[in-house]
Amino acid sequence: MLLSRGRNPSAGEILTQLIQSKGLRDRVLTTLGLLLLVRLGIYIPVPGIDRVAFQQFIQQGGQLIGFLDIFTGGGISTLGVFALGILPFINASIILQLLTAAVPQLEDLQKNEGEAGRRKIAQITRYVALGWGILQSTVFALILRQYAIPGVSAPVFVIQTALALVAGSMVVMWISEVITERGIGQGASLVIFVNIVATLPRALGSTVELAQSGDRATVGGIVVLVLIFLVTIVGIIFVQEGSRRIPIVSAKRQVGQNTPLSARQSYLPLKLNAGGVMPIIFASAVVFLPLTIANLTRAPWLIQVAGYLSPNSSTPWLYALLFFALIIGFSLFYATLTINPVDIATNLKRSGVAVPGVRPGSATAIYLSGVQNRLTILGGLFLGAVAIIPSAVEGATQVRTFQGLGATSLLILVGVAIDTAKQVQTYVISQRYEGMVRQ
């Protein structure tokens, strides 16, 4: 194999490594096999449910059911044992991230305990995921109680349905961790990625049928919508990879008595979109919260509020404005959780590294905080535009076949694809240099 130093591996080099390297081939096959197992589990039915009545409920579920169905790859609508999928684990991870910033003990585990601390946090996340899965499956079972087959008592139905759903969710969580450890990519992200991709054929088929049976205006609307999606994907790639490189200079060092080393210049990257898809997920959860509570309580005033906040209501601008503001707010909030300018400034000062023209210590922390806030606001504005524009175009063109595959889905698809490709490239590069050492 031709080894190329100093550049990223080409597609041919990756394919050659995939064929020749047993390690990479086993990782890829393990990942594909486990993801296939996750997909098969969605179609194993939960017993004791009237499927016809439940499908009518799904068709009336609206935005909330469609939003959850995207992340479970149709698991909610098919009601398989993997219906909850990876959602409890994702919710538990978000809860632990919030608690880590608020609870000093968890923050100490993450920052000062090294690998042992991260393992403890991972174990706590699993327990929280189990508790959250029990809560979600119980609520879901209570909702499904009215669609139980006659002859099954309500308590027995709720218990057996909740146990089936939470057991399936824990199996999916275990599979995702096995993928992370023995496969390629981050397991939980890949499970969501596959679930979203699984909904694309149905959306594309519906779009083709609409184009074949529609008039010129409908075909033109489909073309405009597809172009908007393509432009959005390109924009997501640029923003996901975009960062502000802040130059930093290390102090001169003395090695021995007569061999001084000059100052080294490098840079500190600050990402434009530090929160990734999390601000949109948080904002979606808040927007759909009144609808969720209204479906459970059947309170008239909550149903009215949920109607005003729906994108299909008579006041869609209210939904768009609230959603846009929440995305920017959660972008700023999540950036404070992921990046701590004070810690960065302290570590730079201890390492003898400084930003040119900025005093070390508190001045550096203030400077980094200002830069990060400006970047976060720009990233939040982009996320808000990405979240609103596709929905607005769908409403203007009246093409609803891609409903649910919005900004959140596109961000996840692009982000997971980029991260997985980078991990494959890293593995190939490591194999490249191992080959050089053997030569």
> Cα–Cα–Cα angle for 157, 159, 165, nearest 5°?
100
The residue with greater pLDDT, 85 or 16, is: 85
**CA distances in angstroms from 1 to 10, 95, 423, 438, listed in the order given:** 12, 47, 20, 13
Encode pLDDT of 189-218 as tens digits: 888 888 888 877 777 777 777 777 766 667
Can you tell me the mean pLDDT for 58-85?
Answer: 69
| Rounded Cα–Cα distance for residues 146 and 160 (Å) | 15
pLDDT at res. 337: 72
| Rounded Cα–Cα distance for residues 384 and 332 (Å) | 13
Instruction: Specify the range with the lowest mean pLDDT, choosing from 56-65, 133-142, 289-298.
Output: 56-65
pLDDT at res. 295: 62
Can you tell me the mean pLDDT for 149-178?
Answer: 88
Encode pLDDT of 6-32 as tens digits: 466 666 767 777 777 777 888 888 999
With bands split at pLDDT 50, 70 and 90, how would you rate the model's confidence at 68?
A: low
Q: Where in the chain is the domain with CATH 1.10.3370.10?
A: 25-198, 205-439
Q: Is the pLDDT of residue 252 over 60?
A: no
Q: Is the pLDDT of residue 363 over 80?
A: yes
CA Rg, the chain, in Å?
25
Encode pLDDT of 395-416 as tens digits: 666 666 565 566 667 777 887 8
The residue with greater pLDDT, 191 or 220, is: 191
In this structure, which CATH number among 1.20.1260.10, 1.10.3370.10, 1.50.10.10, 3.40.1410.10 belongs to the domain 205-439?
Answer: 1.10.3370.10
Angle between helices 22-42 and 154-182 (to 10 degrees): 170
Query: Which CATH number does 25-198 carry?
Result: 1.10.3370.10
Q: Is the pLDDT of residue 248 over 80?
A: yes
Predicted TM-score (pTM) of the model is 0.76
Q: Could you give the 3-state DSSP secondary structure of residue 190?
A: helix
Closest among 145, 141, 144, 143 to 164, alpha carbons compared: 141
| Rounded Cα–Cα distance for residues 210 and 400 (Å) | 10
Tell me the two tokens of residue 213. Answer: 């049976």
Q: Is the pLDDT of residue 171 over 90?
A: yes
Share above pLDDT 70 across residues of the chain, in percent, rounded to a whole number:
76
Q: Is the pLDDT of residue 81 over 50?
A: yes
With bands split at pLDDT 50, 70 and 90, how would you rate the model's confidence at 34?
A: very high
| Beta pairing class for 259-261 and 353-354 | unpaired
Tell me the two tokens of residue 352. Answer: 């003898």
Instruction: Specify the range with the lowest mean pLDDT, choosing from 54-68, 75-89, 259-273, 344-358.
Output: 54-68
Best mean pLDDT range from 5-9, 171-175, 312-316, 343-347: 171-175
The residue with greater pLDDT, 174 or 260, is: 174
Rounded to the nearest integer, the mean pLDDT of the chain is 77
pLDDT at res. 175: 93
